[in-house]
Structure 1
Amino acid sequence: MKQKDMRTLIISTVLCGVLFGIAVVINKLSGGNADTYIPLYVIAAILNAVLNLGLSSNIVMANGAKKLVALGKWIMPITGLAYLIPQIYLLLFPAQSIMETFVYIFLGIIFIISGNYFPKNHINPYIGLKFPWLFHDEEGWYKTHKLGSYTWVLSGAAMILHPLHNLAYVTVPLIILLAGVVPFIYSLILYLQKKTN
């Protein structure tokens, strides 16, 4: 592992610990049961280490879009911060609940950022749409990820707009359709066309 990657691993893990420590304190101040969250914090730190080690491998560094790989290495501290903000808000304004709103907005932003970098992704088993038939079809990989970039940005926008209308029976199926079903069907059609030709 390169020195830069090791530094990112250490800093992001320490940051996870600090953020989740603050979250425990805020939870206790608000009268919550912080002990139930401790295993989640440990799991998050372990996931951070696994993500950083996996994303530092040569195949990912060579084939993955650089900014998408960097986002993956910092996703656990970003998630910790995203969890902390609503906790602070609920401590200051206990009568209101913004957790669901914040989660939808946070996930929407992640989907938009990820979708933006999909077309720059080379074939790899770690980052991107991992349909098995795409790993041996470079043209299909790029076409599917180009379409996926649009559908993921649209699904991210749908997530961000969800709290404005709160129609989960519309938003959730739309997000699933855009983020998973449409790229899946498109890639399968490309694969079957290539196989018949």
Structure 2
Amino acid sequence: MKSLANFFFEVGMLKRTPRSGFQFLGSGAESVAEHSYRAAIIGFTLARLDEKADVGRVLQLCLFHDIPEARTGDLNYVNKKYVQVDEQRAVDDLAETLPFGDDYRELVAEFSVQESHEAQLAHDADQLEMILALKEYKDLGNRYADEWYPFSVRRLKTDTAKRLAESIWSTDSSRWWFDDDEDWWVKGRR
């Protein structure tokens, strides 16, 4: 049980591990845990829209793909040009302590290789989460988000994710909660 308690504490580090790409965007902040949570919801959605996908597998891939970053940190594309991380060692070291260590290794490897349909959906969920964040920052005035968007779209693998990205980019991120019932916004009741 102690190794599982340690695992849960390690996963908790992701709440305090910042996603480093926002440094280059010039605005925004997000933890790896925040990113992983929304990516899992997106992955669930993509898998449900796909008749062939194993929804549970996509969720597992989304939830576990960034756990190594509790040990390695999050490296953005600039960092990756210069820093070489031994992610496999981080995965193996953690896996040795887990009763499901082989499952964990398999999930991280499957996500990395991106050959299975489920891994492609999980990868798309990961990228769509970034596209959502970019759109949110664009709507708040970050002019660089428009430059990043095309690169994120080019990473998408499935047609559903590509269509969803277009819809995300054309949707005002702050309007999901605002309906057009003027009486509500004036009187505060229906």
Query: Is TM-score (shorter-chain normalized) higher than 0.5?
Result: no
Higher Rg of the two aligned structures: 1
What is the TM-score when the length of structure 2 is the normalising length? 0.30
Higher relative contact order (CA 8 A, sep 6+): 2
What is the TM-score when the length of structure 1 is the normalising length? 0.29
